[in-house]
Each structure stands twice: as C-alpha cells, then as structure tokens.
Amino acid sequence: MPGIDKLPIEETLEDSPQTRSLLGVFEEDAAAISSYTQQLFQAMQRIYDAQNELSAATHLTSKLLKEYEKQRFPLGGDDEVMSSTLQQFAKVIDELSSCHAVLSTQLADAMMFPITQFKERDLKEILTLKEVFQIASDDHDMAINRYSRLSKRRDNEKVRCEVMEDVYTSRKKQHQTMMHYFTALNTLQYKKKIALLEPLLGYMQAQISFFKLGSENLTQQWEDFLSTIGTSVQNVRREMDGEVDVMQQTIQDLEQASDILYMPDPDPSKIPINRNLTRKAGYLNTRNKTGLVSSSWDRQYFFSQGGNLMSQARGDITSFDGKKVAILQAESRKDCEEWIATINNISKRIYLSENPEEIAARVNQSALEAVTPSPSFQQRHESLRPSTQGRPRAARSSSQSSMGCESPALSSLSLDSLVAPDTPIQFDIISPVSEEYASQAKSGGQGSRRTNPFGESGETPSEDSEGNRAECESARRRRKYKTRIFKSRRPLCELSEEECARGLGLPRAVVREVCAMVAADAEGGPTGSCALPVALKVTAALAFLTSGSFQDAVSLGAGVSQSAVSAAIHTVCGSLVRHADEHVAFPSSPRRRLRAQQDFRAACGLPRVLGAVDCTHVTCDANRLVTHVCARYPGSTRDARILANSALPAAFRGHAAADGCLVGDDAYP
C-alpha cells in the first residue's frame, strides 16, 4: 500500500498558517470519508435486511408447503403425488432456510458490525474533537487579544498575572487538543481502509460459507429429485399447451356455430325446433305477485328432472308440485315451443322408456303442430269446436298464450293423445302484455276459460256455438289498449364529467365500473320496453345517495317512477354490499401492512400508521381509500364506542398489535 499522509504533531504548538491549511485538507478528507461511509452503510444495510427478509420468506414458504396436505381444495385436493412432492420440497427449502438464517447471522457479525463501529465510534470521535479544538482555539485567541490590550503605563500586577495565567491555560489546552485532533485525523487514514475492507471481507466469507453449507446439504440425491421434477414440469407444460390448443380450437368452432344463437329470438328457420326432447334446462322469467294488482318478473334457471320441473335461484332448488301454478315467459319463440314440447313428452311419461327421444319423435310425428299456442282466443275456439263438442269439463288448470300460431290439424287430433291425465307439470306461459287482457276477460265473465298450450280446454264450450262466437267477439271489442307514456331520460353516455361529479358524486369512469360490477344483479326481469337499463338503475341509485333527497325528486330527474327508483336503490345497494369485501379490506398480511406504513410515512411522516379513523365510522389509508366501515350505529354514538365494537380491535390482537397503529382525533382513547 502507498504511504499514509500525516499531520505534523510537532508543529501543533507553533500553529502556523501552513499547519492550519494542511489541517483543512485533512478535515475535508474526513468529511468525504463520512459521506461515503454513510452511503456504503446504507447499501450494506439493504443487503442485510434483504437477507433477513429472504430467510423469513424461505421459512414461511417451507411452512406453507408442509400445510398443503391440510388444505381443502374443491378440485384435486386428494392428489397424493402432489402432496408428497411438496413435502419433499418443503424439506429442501427448510434446510435452505436454515442456511439463510446462518448467513444472516454471519452478515451481522462480519459485515455490519465493523462498518457500524467505524461510523458510530471513529467518525463521531473526529467530529467531537473538531468541536473541542474549535472551542480551545477561540479561547486561546481571546486570551491573546486580552493580553495584547494590557496597558504599559499603568501596570497592574494582579491583572497582568491573571491575563498571563489565562494565556498559559488556553495555549496549553489548545496545544493538547490540537495534538489529539491531529492524532485522530492521522489514525483515520488507517481506519478508513480497515473500515472499507473488513466488511467486504466478512461479506465474501459469509457468502462462501453459505455456498459450502448449501452444497453439503444438496446432495446428489436432491439433484436427481430436482431433475425428475423438472422433467415432470415439462411434461405437464406440454400437456397444458396441447389442451390449450384444443380449447382454442373448440372456442373457434363454438363461436362459428353459436353466432346465430347470440340473438335473443333467433330465426326458427335457421335453428330448427327440437320437439323430441324429454329433458330441458334454461332460463325463464317467472311472474311473482307483489300486490293485489301488481307483479314482478324474476329470471330463474329451470330444468326438468324425471317427471318434475325444478327451478334454481341463488343456490336454492325448488320443485313444483301438482298444486302450484307457475306463469312463465320464455326468452324466444324457439325456447317456448321446445319447453311446451318437452312437457308434452313428459306428460306422456316417455322419459321412463329406454329410448325416450326415439319414442317422442314417433309420438309427436302426428302432433307436430299441436304444441304451438294459438294466436287469439277466437281462432283457438274455432279450431277446437269440431273436436270438443260434448266433452266433459277438464279437471286440470289451463293456460293462456299470446305467442305463435296453430295449424288446423289440431282439430283432428284427440286431446288425450296430446296431454296424458294427471300431468305432473302444470305450465302456464303468458307474456306480460297479455295480463291486462286477461284481467278484462275476467271482469267480463271470461276469466274461467283459458286455453292450454297442449291443446286442451279448461272448460267445455257451450252447445250454442253462435252464442260463443258472439260472446268472444264482444270480449274482443271490450279489449282496450292503454298507451304507455315514457318520461324523457338521459343515458349515462350523455352526462358530462362535471354532471357526473356533481349529480352522482363519482367520475364517469368510476360510474361505468359500478355498472359493470352490479350488472349481474341489476339485469333480469322481463325483457322489452318496460325494463330499465343497468346504467339508469345505477345513476338513479347514486343520485339518491349523493343528494340525500327524496325518491320522488330523484325520479323526476331520472325520468322514471318513484317505485322504479326504490327498486333500483334496493338492487344497486344490495349488489354493492355483496361486492364490498372485494374493494374494502383492512391490511392484514405483513406485506400490505408494510405498504400502508410506507405510504403514511411518505405522505405524513408518521411511522407505523396503518390507517386514519374518524366519523361513525370510516377507516382509510394514506391514499384516501376506505379500508374499513362500521355503519350500524347512529350518528349520536360516540366514536370510541363504535371503534371498540367494530372488527378493528380483533385485527390488532396478537402479533399485529406490534406492527402498526391507527391515528384519530381526541374522540378516541
């Protein structure tokens, strides 16, 4: 190594300008060493922290792999080969975790301790001696100045002795301090080399020891095991790639074949109606009475099981008994006719045979047109009149349909061949626009007569056919249509950014995200002009929540009725509550808690803060995102009581209590 520059200690008493100039060079060098050492210390501290994090993460990984066999996966949970393989990996990673823990200890002793000692002891000693030397130099200058001002004419021996004693003491103190300061600066030239080389030496030795320890633990047996696992992974990857190619081809084929099925009411000429079904499943709209004269339509999934019709809504499966009457609406003409044909086949108990579809095709060959509902009450009456005179009154409930048209071949068919006695499924198919006509027909004495979609009449026609024609014609003339008046509505696409922020309290992009989130819950019910779009439901609900006004005022602005606003608020709010856990979550994992603390430190300079709590009661993070809400208490409840009865105290029990805290005003303890 080249020679070390030194300050001349023997010239400290003289304290010449040349000595002071050389001292300034050494002080500048000491300041540069201090700055560089601080940066090097921070870099090595990051290495040490990363190693500690790696050791903890490796240990956690090994722990999770050991707990794999205890997990209850809905699919593939009993894969013993996978469980045993992960257990072997857990064993290897556990050994690596021990090696990482040893490496962390060696880095703390051999790398961090030397540079920390140099930074905290040697460099601080230089700063302390510099301050003491500066004070001693100032005292010496003051003593010399006082001595130089002594009067030569009026000599005061006592004052002169005091001044000379002060000069002696200050010069001695300056000389001693300067010699110690020079010695520390000269020693620093050696210590800086030691402080730079010793931590690096310790780091390299710790890494070499870690690699040797790892090579001893990872024997040839583990290398063979890893090679076998690598081969298995490649086989799984090739199998996955092959399966993905098959699925992509399937997607392309299905897209080409299903293009015409995307329309809500496809053309029957392009998609033939299958009347030989004995089983069918799909979505239907079912009518539910909500009042004396009002009703609502709910979209439910229906399927036939044996001789029973089943419906499923939100996980609950319901079967229809012989006493229950369901008014259903199909989404298309094709679905309507296939449902009727399926139920007609079920009513003949064809599903109990060995080849139900073949038998159904043979039975329905002669009744292919008989399963289509009649276009009007009068045509149904005229088509049934030749075959139904003198028949007794049917014991079963019938149904009315306003869809489709029927062939005259129905008049030559026997009704017993169409619908077997004691049919297990009673199926009413009616569209919403025909409800008004049905109610008027009841008021006119026609309420007890409905037409069954299978071709069976609910009551025997009168012997006087001319009277029946006149009665039907009179009922048709009494039928009145009510013109629906729609209020003007502004769709979401016409609202400006300012109008969304002022009226809905959210930007347009966020409103669109809310629409996409609640679409699955807000859609449904009957299709047609009376159905509200999802965007209109969302804007009506958000306008009500933002303004805090009455529903009548919101309905005037939205262009819908107050009842529609009420239903929209109920639907949207219920959907938002169901999706709350996806967006409102208090940081529970160590990584999320660390991220929240870093955000608060960067934004406010507050350490260990996980959230800010206020009101009754809302908790948010440094980015003003809500992480916890407790809204079951009125506004008069004390903030501290709401906090104590919320779920937050449970989140801070145990190890989480040492990981962070909440900030709030003086209303909290």
Question: What's the confidence (pLDDT) of residue 574?
Answer: 87
Question: Cα–Cα distances in Å, from 316 out to 301, 309, 312, 518, 558?
Answer: 11, 14, 5, 21, 35
Digit-coded pLDDT (tens) for 195-249: 889 999 999 999 888 888 877 766 666 777 788 888 888 888 899 999 999 999 9
Predicted pLDDT of residue 247:
92
Q: Which two tokens stand for residue 252?
A: 């392309």
pLDDT given at position 244? 92
Q: What are phi and psi of 4, to 5 degrees?
A: -100, 130
pLDDT on residue 405: 36
Among residues 291, 288, 310, the alpha carbon closest in space to that of 301 is found at 310
369-419 per-position pLDDT tens digit: 444 444 444 444 444 444 434 433 333 333 333 333 333 333 333 334 444
Q: What integer pLDDT is reported at residue 53 of this predicted model?
A: 92
Least confident of 61-75, 478-492, 516-530: 478-492
Cβ neighbours, 10 Å, residue 283: 12
pLDDT at 459: 44
Q: Which two tokens stand for residue 433?
A: 């626009």
Angle between helices 17-66 and 157-217 (to 10 degrees): 30
What pLDDT shows up at residue 69? 81
Whether the Cβ atoms of residue 185 and residue 126 lie closer than 8 Å to each other: yes
H or E, element range at 284: strand 281-289
Question: Is the confidence at residue 360, as pLDDT, over 80?
Answer: no
CA angle 360, 365, 368 (to 5 degrees): 100
What's the pLDDT tens digit per position in 300-332? Answer: 888 887 778 888 766 555 666 555 677 888 888
- The pLDDT of residue 479 is 53
- What are 54-87's pLDDT values in tens digits? 989 989 998 898 888 888 777 765 677 888 888 8
Does residue 400 contact residue 459 with C-beta atoms inside 8 Å? no
Neighbouring CB atoms inside 10 A of 28's CB total 10
**DSSP conformation class of 457:** B
What digits encode the pLDDT tens for the residues 147-167?
A: 888 776 666 777 888 888 888
And the tokens for 480? 């009145």
Cα–Cα dist 34/521, whole Å? 65
Residue 429 pairs in a beta bridge with 328
Measured between its terminal Cα atoms, the distance across the chain in Å is: 64
Which value, to the nearest 10 degrees, does the dihedral of the CA atoms of residues 274, 277, 283, 288 take? 110
CA dist 348 and 342 (Å) reads 10
Q: What pLDDT is attached to residue 88?
A: 84
pLDDT of residue 371: 45
pLDDT tens-digit map of 612-659:
888 767 888 888 888 888 888 887 788 888 888 888 887 777 544 456
SS3 state of residue 300: strand
The secondary structure of 468-515 as a DSSP string is HHHHHHHHHHH---PPP-PPP---GGGS-HHHIIIIISS-HHHHHHHH
Query: 3-class SS at 286?
Result: strand
The CA distance from 30 to 42, in Å, is: 18
565 membership: H or E segment, kind and range? helix 562-578
